[in-house]
């Protein structure tokens, strides 16, 4: 037997480009990373080409999958718009193919992560699943009837921009009241800082972790304090979980998935986040008591899901 067929997955984020050589079982054989110059399209392409060259130095690869945090067109070749990267109508597929001489597939990063969890992770026993990535924002990817759902124009699955509060908090997308503004790491940080400013005695542990300054509180500090049993931190995660569960109930009414897989940095809080989400979901679900209930599960592939999914999509191009 020869070497397993290898493909390269590249995850293009706002601060770094991470790449991996991935085998057919979804295992990462080798990794490379580089700081990303988010302000210049040519430099982003050059950085992608550099990490690919580094991985190809010792291994053969047959294709490249690029996962980018943005809207990707239906032909999986052009990044239409990336809020945190300088990519506007950028023909990324063509640019990387020209400089690597390998076939390239471009995909939204959350879609790539969803595909990885479906193939190799927490969703591998179901045909219909939704991945929610709770990081700075709220990303999503849909796998329906065993296929990655992309929509007519390639930009489906942007669940973070469901309107949940008419006239609510202003979102980075320009609209008000998006789900992302209530069920994300940024939302958790906003609420924690506000709480610490208004109720310092109750927020004593959070303030201690942030050197006494409310404006220095970050999401992982809330998770740390909650794991220690801090009441205020647990309540903050419960609020986030409640928003999460309510949104999942709305998605279930439309898509009826068997599982919702929750990943991203905030998901590291585990059941302190997911248990309130499950309870909130149960209260909001249409026709509850008369239908099977989906499972809300923790993602299993962590930060590598985007790389693994992009590489596997390139293999199936």
> Residue 3 has what pLDDT?
56
Q: Which CATH superfamily is domain 125-299 in?
A: ATPase, nucleotide binding domain (3.30.420.40)
Q: How far apart are CA 98 and CA 273, in angstroms?
A: 45
> Residue 2 has what pLDDT?
47
CB 15 within 8 A of CB 38: yes
DSSP state of 91: -
pLDDT in tens, the chain (317 residues): 345 799 999 999 878 899 999 999 999 999 999 987 767 889 999 999 999 999 999 999 999 999 998 899 999 999 998 877 888 998 999 999 999 999 999 999 999 999 999 999 999 999 999 999 999 899 999 999 999 999 999 999 999 999 999 999 999 889 999 999 999 999 999 999 999 999 999 999 999 999 999 999 999 999 999 999 999 999 999 999 999 999 999 999 999 999 999 999 999 999 999 999 999 999 998 888 888 999 999 999 999 999 999 999 999 99
> Residue 286 has what pLDDT?
86
Q: 191, 292, 199: which is closest to 243 by C-alpha?
A: 191
Nearest-10 Cα torsion for 19, 269, 83, 217:
-120
User: How many helices, marked H, and strands, marked E, lie in the chain?
Assistant: 9, 13
> Residue 157 has what pLDDT?
94
DSSP state of 127: S
Q: How far apart are CA 118 and CA 125, in angstroms?
A: 8
**3-class DSSP state of 296:** strand
Contacts of 292 (CB under 8 A, 6+ apart): none
Domain ranges for the chain: 7-115+304-315, 125-299
Asked if domains 7-115+304-315 and 125-299 share a fold, the reply is yes
**3-class DSSP state of 264:** coil
CB 136 within 8 A of CB 154: no
Q: How far apart are CA 313 and CA 27, in angstroms?
A: 14
What is the token pair recorded at 163? 């309107």
Domain 7-115+304-315 is found in CATH 3.40.50.1010: no
Q: At what angle do helices 92-100 and 41-56 cross, to 10 degrees?
A: 40
Sequence-ordered strand ranges (E) for 91-172? 104-108, 129-134, 138-144, 147-149
DSSP state of 293: -
């Amino acid at each position: 037997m020869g070497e397993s067929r290898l493909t390269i997955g590249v995850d293009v984020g706002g601060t770094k480009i991470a790449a991996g050589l991935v085998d057919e079982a979804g295992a990462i054989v080798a990794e490379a990373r580089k700081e990303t110059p988010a302000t210049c399209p040519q430099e982003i392409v050059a950085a992608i080409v550099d990490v690919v060259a580094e991985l190809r130095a010792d291994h053969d690869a047959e294709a490249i999958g690029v996962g980018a945090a943005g809207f990707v067109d239906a032909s999986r070749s052009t990044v239409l718009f990336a809020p945190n990267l300088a990519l506007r109508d950028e023909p990324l597929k063509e640019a990387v193919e020209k400089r690597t001489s390998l076939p390239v597939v471009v995909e939204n990063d959350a879609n790539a992560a969803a595909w990885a969890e479906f193939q190799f992770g927490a969703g591998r026993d179901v045909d219909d699943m939704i991945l929610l990535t709770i990081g700075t924002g709220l990303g999503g990817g849909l796998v329906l009837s065993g296929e990655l759902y992309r929509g007519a124009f390639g930009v489906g699955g942007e669940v973070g921009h469901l309107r949940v509060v008419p006239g609510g908090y202003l979102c980075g997308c320009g609209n008000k009241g998006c789900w992302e503004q209530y069920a994300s790491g940024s939302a958790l940080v906003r609420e924690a800082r506000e709480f610490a400013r208004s109720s310092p005695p109750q927020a004593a542990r959070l303030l201690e972790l942030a050197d006494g300054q409310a404006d220095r509180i970050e999401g992982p500090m809330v998770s740390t304090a909650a794991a220690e049993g801090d009441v205020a931190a647990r309540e903050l995660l419960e609020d986030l979980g409640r928003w999460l569960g309510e949104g999942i109930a709305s998605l279930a009414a439309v898509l009826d998935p068997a599982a919702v897989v929750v990943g991203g940095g905030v998901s590291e809080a585990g059941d302190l986040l997911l248990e309130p989400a499950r309870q909130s979901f149960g209260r909001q679900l249409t026709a509850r008591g008369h239908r099977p209930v989906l499972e809300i599960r923790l993602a299993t592939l962590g930060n590598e899901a985007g790389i693994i999914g992009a590489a596997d999509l390139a293999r199936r191009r």
